[in-house]
Amino acid sequence: MYKKTLQIIGCICVISQLSFTKSVDPISGNEVVISINAGIEQGIVSPNIMGFNIVYSYESDVGWQSGSGKVPAMIKALGASQLRYPGGTVVTKYHWENPTGQGWSDSWSPDFNSSKNTDPSTYMDIDEYLGVIKKQKIEPLLGINMGSGMKYNRVQDGVNEAVRLMKHCLAKGVKIKYYYLDNEPYQHDANFTYTSEQYAEAVNTYVPAMKNVDPDIKIIVNTHPNTENYTKALLAKAGKNIDFVDVHMYWRFKNATFENWKKEGLMKHRGLKPYREQKDIFEKIFADAGFPNIKLVVLEWNIGPAGEGNTPPTEAQSALMVSEQFTQYIQSGLFMSTFWPLSWPSPAFRALLNAKEEYRPNRMYGMFALYKDVLRQQKVSSKSTQKNLVNLAVKSTDGKTMWVYLINKEQDQNVLDIKLDLDGFNAKSYGAVGFDAEDTADAGHAIHEVKLSKIDTKHYQIQVPKNAFAKITFKK
């Protein structure tokens, strides 16, 4: 399975060797033009934008092997820079020195039932996580449990626990740069549900003690995604101890159907503004509060669940929907994001890997593999005459390669006939791959060659069906 997965990635990356061409319906409608200017640079694609969430209690030893297993190798093959540990809500109940495998139960609780603890082989403890980090040279992103101390009136015990965790990591030879403090503190299912003022006070209590151990750490807090007042109150009281603010973004939670995706145009956060605008929206809030150096990160994101009574998207549809969300994050210049979840114990279209089938890569994995090339590379200007054609252009920092991403959401035509106007980049070779929402091949094999024609030294032609994705590679 592992060798097969790496072969799939190789096929995706070496597009000139692909032989199968996806057939499309005849062209209808007018030609669409994508104007790309390689000379107008728009910032480096952050390597930290490709990250994933580990839920410690669901990650068994067999797949990871402290960094030597097939799962970390698959993650590294994507170019992932972040692995968030020990997860989301579980961090508010997690005690690193005595893990139980009961992710949503707190061993500090008077009624904790230790008989339900799972075998250590069924979960990832801190040393196993650090082993993955060291072996694969992936940036750690480590959570601090503040919720237990607040809930059980043991705040100082919680601070001491965090300090010991930091010292333990350093003793193991891993210097953690990014720490996130609790998770969704505003939610009813958090171990302790904070007001913004309570959360700010906790941040002000923990951060000085943590910086006594390592003054170079960066602190990430998690604010309410729907309430601007929560963020403002948090910053007013604790902004001096904050480096990044995390906002979780699940598209259309409990209403994330493929039909809704087709109707929306650009995907929007809370149905209000596109994801590509969120960085500037939130960072203006931070700046207006007096903290222009605080940046936005998104440590949990995905399409939401379909909701009761709704038809959930297929794997291929989900991968297409998520590709747009991810493309918008890249367009925005977002510094860091971690996709939720890496795996889940039950078959789940929204996960990267299917843990029940020996960590089989879902379609989501093949989609993310198509973005590996552009991490750390330079975004350039890309404009379309069709508003429902999502587009992104990135050139390599050495100037030798150009990648163009297209996601066709135009519903009025079966196929878009697209002309690429490539200014400032003279390509010697070119090729394209893609997938569409109706692909039904086995997971990992839905990526196919897409016909790309050269008109002259500056212009190219490609046909993209509706509800389809294409990645074009030009090389000098």
Residue 113: give its domain's CATH number: 3.20.20.80
Q: Please tell me whether residues 191 and 299 are part of one structural domain.
A: yes
Instruction: Round to whole Å and give the CA distance between 312 and 81.
Output: 30
pLDDT at residue 21 greater than cutoff 80: no
Residue 178: beta bridge partners?
141, 218
Q: Please tell me whether residues 312 and 448 are part of one structural domain.
A: no
Q: What are phi and psi for residue 421, nearest 5 degrees?
A: -105, 105
Distinct helix (H) and strand (E) counts, the chain: 12, 24
Kindly report whether the peptide bond that precedes residue 341 is cis, defined as omega within 30 degrees of 0.
yes
Q: Please tell me whether residues 263 and 394 are part of one structural domain.
A: no
Q: Please tell me whether residues 154 and 244 are part of one structural domain.
A: yes
Q: How confident is the model at residue 440 (pLDDT cuts 50, 70, 90)?
A: confident
**Overall number of domains in the chain:** 2
Residue 458: give its domain's CATH number: 2.60.40.1180
Digit-coded pLDDT (tens) for 77-106: 999 999 999 999 999 999 999 999 999 999
Q: Please tell me whether residues 97 and 234 are part of one structural domain.
A: yes
Q: What single-letter amino acid sits at 407?
A: I
Characterize the bridge pairing of strands 429-436 and 448-449. Answer: antiparallel
Per-residue confidence (pLDDT) for residue 472, from 0 to 100: 98
Digit-coded pLDDT (tens) for 191-203: 999 999 999 999 9
Digit-coded pLDDT (tens) for 298-353: 999 999 999 999 999 999 999 999 999 999 999 999 999 999 999 998 876 789 99
Q: Please tell me whether residues 206 and 319 are part of one structural domain.
A: yes
Q: Please tell me whether residues 390 and 268 are part of one structural domain.
A: no
pLDDT at residue 1 greater than cutoff 60: no
The residue segments making up the domain with residue 421 are 2-44+378-475
pLDDT at residue 447 greater than cutoff 50: yes
3-state SS, residue 302 = strand
| Cα-Cα end-to-end distance for the chain | 35
Mean of pLDDT values over 461-468 = 97
What burial letters (b/e) apply to 400-420, b meaning 16+ CB within 10 Å?
A: ebbbbbbbbbbeebebbbbbb
Of the residues 374, 404, 419, the one at which a domain ends:
374
Of the residues 328, 346, 374, the one at which a domain ends:
374
Of the residues 326, 343, 374, the one at which a domain ends:
374
Per-residue confidence (pLDDT) for residue 444, from 0 to 100: 54
Mean of pLDDT values over 175-199 = 97
CB atoms under 10 Å from CB of 54, counted, come to 24
Which region among 59-73, 80-94, 330-344, 444-458 has the lowest average model confidence (pLDDT)? 444-458
Q: Please tell me whether residues 8 and 142 are part of one structural domain.
A: no
CB atoms under 10 Å from CB of 110, counted, come to 6
Mean of pLDDT values over 40-63 = 97
Q: Please tell me whether residues 174 and 314 are part of one structural domain.
A: yes
pLDDT at residue 423 greater than cutoff 70: yes
Q: Please tell me whether residues 117 and 249 are part of one structural domain.
A: yes
Angle (nearest 5°) at CA 316 between 314 and 317: 65
Q: Please tell me whether residues 127 and 176 are part of one structural domain.
A: yes
Residue 408: beta bridge partners?
389, 468
DSSP-H helix ranges across 214-291: 228-238, 258-264, 278-288
CB atoms under 10 Å from CB of 180, counted, come to 23
> Is residue 16 within 8 Å of 431, Cβ to Cβ?
yes
Q: How confident is the model at residue 204 (pLDDT cuts 50, 70, 90)?
A: very high
**pTM of the full structure:** 0.93
**How far lies 436's CA from each of 235, 377, 463, in Å?**
43, 26, 12
Nearest to 207 by CA among 261, 163, 250, 174: 163
Q: Please tell me whether residues 97 and 221 are part of one structural domain.
A: yes
